[in-house]
Amino acid sequence: MIFFKFFNKFLSVALTAIISLSATAIPCNSGELPEYVYLGGEPFGLKMYSDGVMIVELESYFDGSKYVCPAKKGGLKESDIIKEINGTKITSNETLREAALNSDGNTLEVTFERDNKTLTKEIVPIKNTAGNYLIGAWVRDSSAGIGTVTYYDTNENYFAGLGHGICDCDTYTLMPLASGEAVIAEISSVTKSTNGSPGSLNGYFSDKVIGKITDNCDIGIYGTFDTSLTENKEKLEVAKESELKTGKATVYTTLEGNTPKAYSIEITSISRNTNSAESFTLKVTDEELLDKAGGIVQGMSGSPIVMDGKLVGAVTHVFVNSTNEGYGIYVGNMMQNYK
């Protein structure tokens, strides 16, 4: 299992993956919260394909007199998302490479997105030492990892998880979603967290598909699901924001197999910023969870938190230098953000 890079030495999202994540908040949509949902807590495998390809690194080549990066010279930057070349849709690293290889060195019209704006630049590929035409851009077109389901809403037929979005590990930019699927995951072992070094849930994907990923946004992953998954699930009332408070609570997460287990925590402080993905801080107090995991580990993102018999939120981050503590998101923020 390959783990993401930490984008902050003091704070890390709690997702086991080959990508890194950000929890920057975005405004919530208005609307009434559902009264009841089904409790999650089980791990799921995420396979996501991006809408276009994201530039993660620029590379220069020797053009006979000096080193040049065609993409950079033409005005492209890291985090740009290439959508089309000469009017042909770019869907993968392979289609981008083919467009450059087949260019014969002729100018390419590249359409891309930057800061939610669609732009066009002209790029002139050059030959590398092997004689292939390239534009000098390393790109990423897909992501995969393990997270935790927070809840299932059978009224709207969707599930939510993670409590933060999936971002590229090199640029920390939210990955644009073209398609994706969620599958049942099995946890085979736990790498224990220690202060300064968050651990992880280690596991594998099964062949059982939960559903399709429909949205990757800053405060959650959302998708359709097979309703049979809720047949033996507990139905819980959704807490109002006014009911979010400090005190003893319970987190449901999975350290082995696919069956969630309840562990005791304490909510230690509250933020009343309803647009924040960091709605409160929490501390693990359960001796078993501390003994087996050292507190919060990567892969626990989305683990639901229950207080006074109501769903109040989910785990989102672990404090790297104090791994028994972290951030959580109020569940209403996740629900109001669902599109």
- Cite the active site residues: 164, 286, 301
Give 156's Cβ-side CA count (13 Å radius). 20
Of the candidates 258, 279, 280, the residue with the CA atom closest to the CA atom of residue 269: 280
Report the 10 Å Cβ neighbour count for 182.
Answer: 27
d(CA 339, CA 332): 13
Sign of CA dihedral 262, 339, 33, 267: positive
Of the candidates 238, 313, 322, the residue with the CA atom closest to the CA atom of residue 280: 313
* Residue 64: exposure state from Cβ atoms within 10 A (0-12, 13-18, ≥19): exposed
Sign of CA dihedral 22, 275, 53, 76: negative
CB burial of 218-251 (b: ≥16 within 10 Å; e: otherwise) equals: bbbbbbbbeeebbeebeebebbeeeebeeeebbb
